[in-house]
A and B are shown apart, each in its own frame.
Chain A
């Protein structure tokens, strides 16, 4: 039995639309990737088995126009943006930027199932700073744990953390606490107007 032969050039021509949208969103041309695998070899998350698909395979999936599959990987959300891949890429692709762009695309499509906690984390983080202007870490920790059960992992260090005064119990106090909310609203307006043009 022989493996299926893929004509990559043909495939890229047929599915050029996705790679082009990724380029617009990230400023990176994923077509340049020649699969050396350096990104995956150095990826600390991949090396600790945190990803479902290795970074170099994500690049190939983008080249092949596998939009539905790539936006449903855990990898794009679990990437911690350390940019080791970017620093080492011989084709000068900012791979971490591509991951961030794929997140934005996946978020816009409301695809949340591959990385539920990551989605909840980012959404709650933004809501927190929109409300307080600065991160209210204690409030976040409690809210996030109630929603995901996640920080129960860290419950045993909780008392020490509070005792050492490493978590402020009360929300941060500033004069204009709504400034991030206002900026976010302006950004939405700007992006809406751009979409209309």
Chain B
């Protein structure tokens, strides 16, 4: 299978480990990724707050080359993914808006490339293919799969999975031998980019998520979103200081755990770029 690939700004900067692990897992599953040439920022989380058209036109251009190649497109960043989904939604349902978007980008976009989240693209490879690729099943590792908001809300636009009880990442974790824990905060918001506007509120929001994951018996939290990963991981030391907690739970991308189960070393997929140490947790499995 071949997809167009839109890494987005985060995967070239704060979320390099996501980029590395997505590429690694896709390679192992014979999924070919063709990076959109000269892609630009999707505009999240600001362009749409200056105008609906601006919020659509900025990410729209990225879809043009994918469409020309006749490829569906994979966008691993949750915010990029949702912005692209919005573009397709408007182009396919609102002819006036389609005309305006095309005028703004100076190109013809018809909304024919499906925009896929990375979990959809990986799950589409099939259970058999995934289980064949596993070399070191993550036995005994209790994983809290954290989906955040953008993949499942608002449900009319973003419907990768159920908005309250999604299971797609849980299934992928089970497929590589880990043990997904059932927990209630799978789609509770971490605060996202509010981190840069109202720090204390974000800290309180992220703390709730980490707290419930720990109380649900998880050894590790996995995410599919760069800003979720950053907030839950980087802010743990701050949470401990402010709330007197003692959190020390690693937070990584679900693709990083998949890559490790498929035989890659954690460093090869950027796990050493995460903040909370993961070594002793991973040593538990197997």
Among A78, A84, A96, chain B packs the most CB atoms within 10 A around the CB of A84
Identify which of B41, B52, B189 contacts A82 (C-beta below 8 A). B189
A189 to B238, CA, bound (A): 45
Interface on chain A toward B: helix, strand, loop, or mixed SS? Answer: helix
Q: Is the CB of B49 within 8 A of A190?
A: no
CB of A68 within 8 Å of the partner chain: no
* A interface residues, tally (CB under 8 Å): 61
Within 8 A of A (CB), among B157-174: 158, 163-164
Q: A82-B192, A94-B154, A176-B38 are in contact. Are A191 and B53 (CB under 8 A)?
A: yes
CB of A160 within 8 Å of the partner chain: yes
CB of A48 within 8 Å of the partner chain: yes
CB of B237 within 8 Å of the partner chain: yes
CB of B110 within 8 Å of the partner chain: no
Q: A83-B154, A84-B149, A175-B38 are in contact. Are A187 and B14 (CB under 8 A)?
A: no
A50 neighbours in B (Cβ, 8 Å): 194, 198, 201, 204-205
Within 8 A of B (CB), among A126-151: 126, 129, 133-135, 137, 144, 150-151
Q: Is the CB of A87 within 8 A of B41?
A: no
Q: Is the CB of A44 within 8 A of B197?
A: no
Q: List 13 A-B contacts (CB under 8 A).
A: A45-B189, A45-B191, A78-B198, A81-B45, A84-B187, A104-B49, A104-B52, A122-B46, A129-B40, A150-B199, A180-B40, A184-B58, A186-B103
Residue numbers of B with Cβ under 8 A of A are 9-10, 12-14, 16, 38-41, 43, 45-54, 57-58, 61, 100, 103-106, 149-150, 152-156, 158, 163-164, 187-189, 191-194, 196-199, 201, 204-205, 208, 234, 237-238, 272-273, 275
